[in-house]
Structure 1
Amino acid sequence: MMRLNRISIERVWPVLDTEVLAFSELRQDELYPSIRPNQIVSYIEGAVEFGRQAGKEYEYNGDLAPLMEHIVRSDTRVTFVDEPKKDGDKLIRAQYIRKPATILVYRPSLEQMDHFFLRSGFHIRQEDLIALHVCHEWFHHLEDTRFGRTDDKLPKIVMRKVGPVMFKQPVESTREIAAHAFTQQVIGLSWYPLLLDLLIDYSERKVKKEQIRDSFNGLKQEFKRAVEADVTAV
């Protein structure tokens, strides 16, 4: 059995760095068209840093019991669900329900992740896969109860003005960016967890590694163009 934080995923699969992966999350936000090019990196860096700083209070060392104890002490319960749940054609991994505070972990997602790693040559401990699922959702609970919401800590987008009054809206995708960073910090991963979701999706669709590499290179170029748009604009 292998620890998740000790595998070299880059030896088997194409990879992307944190900034580009976070950009792939940010660009799906409904407010993304309203974000100026010179704000993109600050939203990404702000969300990643917020998640990492929050994660420094906790450490998963391979023993699931202390992590679960932290979660229980925060008045949150963890429930495992046998039936799959999907968002489109993708399995939902876990969900956080606010009242009563509950983290739902979907077993089909654990199985899918386990099969992916086995096909990749890694026999990962089940406890590590569970930790990966619960950490992400637990962060959202901690946002509600301890740290405050990530999107409230970052600048809001001005949607309209009526006289001196400005109506602003938070960039909600920054919460997901921060949750991935929190999970990475707590588990001690060398790679940003969103990478795993992308690789599993490609693997399930039987996309060849060369095509994945091309797709990742395209995303890198899109990120570069997005942040440089204000520099090149006439």
Structure 2
Amino acid sequence: MHAISSINTNVETTQMEADDRFLAYLELRKDTFFHKIPSQKIRYYIDGALAYGKRLAATQDFVSATELCNRLDVTVIKDTESEMRTVRGSLELTKKDQTIRIYHQSLLQIARHHNVPLAQLEEAALLHEIFHLLEEQTQSVSERLGQINTLQFLGFKRRAMVRQTREIAAHAFVKERMQLPYLPNYWDYSWNEGNGSEELIAIGREFQSRMEEPVVEL
């Protein structure tokens, strides 16, 4: 019985790994106001962000991330000293300079855990920040997709953007540029390790129920 359960778990996990919507859902769950997003609008935000990232990827010539940085006049700094473990890269903008900082220790940790070439992770991190740079030059995906109500009391309403859609779009941008089999936030999770995969499967079932809801646009 345990063996059958294990097989079923592996099948479910494999299916989730390849599902862009599910990986986007994992990202969306990180949003400060995720619990305020109506169930019927979950797919609207996911699909809108994925589509935006893919469209933006097609607006740039398909050259390497380093070449794109050169064309966009971006300085790249590979930070090998910082002990930053949870951030792969950051975009720093001033009136004079555009800088992308890549955190070597963070990428090295992912490379070891998922057996991925470090150069591939550096390319993905650069492209992720390039997306945010390009997005700065136009209306952000969060603005395009609209706001949600976060508080409603006696006629008073407070609204907010779903900011994590920007990360979903960035992942879609990277996937399209690198022709990856899945969104790069796949590397944020442990798919075959006991409690980690069990938790993902539980979230996956939650995700499936949300996807069965009729889609309501804003």
Q: One fold, TM greater than 0.5?
A: yes
Residue 107 in structure 1 maps to residue 104 in structure 2: yes
- Determine the structure 2 residue equivalent to 1:215: 199
2:189 match: secondary structure: helix
- Determine the structure 2 residue equivalent to 1:6: none
Please state how far the C-alpha of 1:229 moved relative to its aligned partner: 6.9
Residue 51 in structure 1 maps to residue 53 in structure 2: yes
- Determine the structure 1 residue equivalent to 2:93: 98
Residue 32 in structure 1 maps to residue 46 in structure 2: no
Please state how far the C-alpha of 1:167 moved relative to its aligned partner: 5.1
In 2: Cα distance, 1:136 partner to 1:81 partner: 16
1:91 match: secondary structure: coil
In 2: Cα distance, 1:151 partner to 1:135 partner: 19
The residue identity in structure 2 corresponding to 1:107 is: H
The residue identity in structure 1 corresponding to 2:205 is: Q
Please state how far the C-alpha of 1:98 moved relative to its aligned partner: 2.2
Please state how far the C-alpha of 1:224 moved relative to its aligned partner: 2.5
Q: 1:229 to 1:115 in 2, by over 3 A?
A: same
What's the RMSD between the two structures over aligned residues? 3.1
Q: Deviations over 1:4-33 (max 9, x none)?
A: xxxxxx99x845211111111112212212
Pick aligned residue for 1:68 from 66, 69, 84: 66
In 2: Cα distance, 1:113 partner to 1:190 partner: 17
Q: 1:20 to 1:117 in 2, by over 3 A?
A: closer
Pick aligned residue for 1:84 from 82, 85, 91: 82
The residue identity in structure 1 corresponding to 2:77 is: T
Please state how far the C-alpha of 1:110 moved relative to its aligned partner: 2.8
In 1: Cα distance, 2:139 partner to 2:38 partner: 25
Residue correspondence of structure 1 range 182-221 to structure 2 within 5 A: 182-199=173-190, 209-221=193-205
Pick aligned residue for 1:225 from 200, 209, 213: 209
**TM-score, length basis structure 2:** 0.78
In 2: Cα distance, 1:184 partner to 1:58 partner: 14
2:76 match: secondary structure: strand
Please state how far the C-alpha of 1:191 moved relative to its aligned partner: 0.9
Please state how far the C-alpha of 1:109 moved relative to its aligned partner: 2.1
Pick aligned residue for 2:161 from 170, 173, 179: 170
Residue correspondence of structure 1 range 109-148 to structure 2 within 5 A: 109-118=106-115, 124=117, 126-145=118-137, 147-148=138-139
Q: Is the 8 A contact 2:114 2:187 kept in 1?
A: no
The alignment-based identity, stated in percent, is: 26
In 2: Cα distance, 1:73 partner to 1:152 partner: 27
In 2: Cα distance, 1:156 partner to 1:81 partner: 36
1:41 match: secondary structure: helix
In 2: Cα distance, 1:162 partner to 1:93 partner: 40
Please state how far the C-alpha of 1:101 moved relative to its aligned partner: 1.9
The residue identity in structure 1 corresponding to 2:133 is: H
The residue identity in structure 2 corresponding to 1:223 is: F
Q: Is the 8 A contact 1:31 1:171 kept in 2?
A: yes
In 1: Cα distance, 2:157 partner to 2:193 partner: 47
Q: Deviations over 1:180-201 (max 9, x none)?
A: 01000111101111111113xx
Q: Is the 8 A contact 2:53 2:171 kept in 1?
A: yes
Q: Deviations over 1:148-172 (max 9, x none)?
A: 2110110211346799996532110
In structure 2, the gaps of 5 or more residues are 1-9
- Determine the structure 2 residue equivalent to 1:3: none
1:131 match: secondary structure: helix
- Determine the structure 1 residue equivalent to 2:3: none
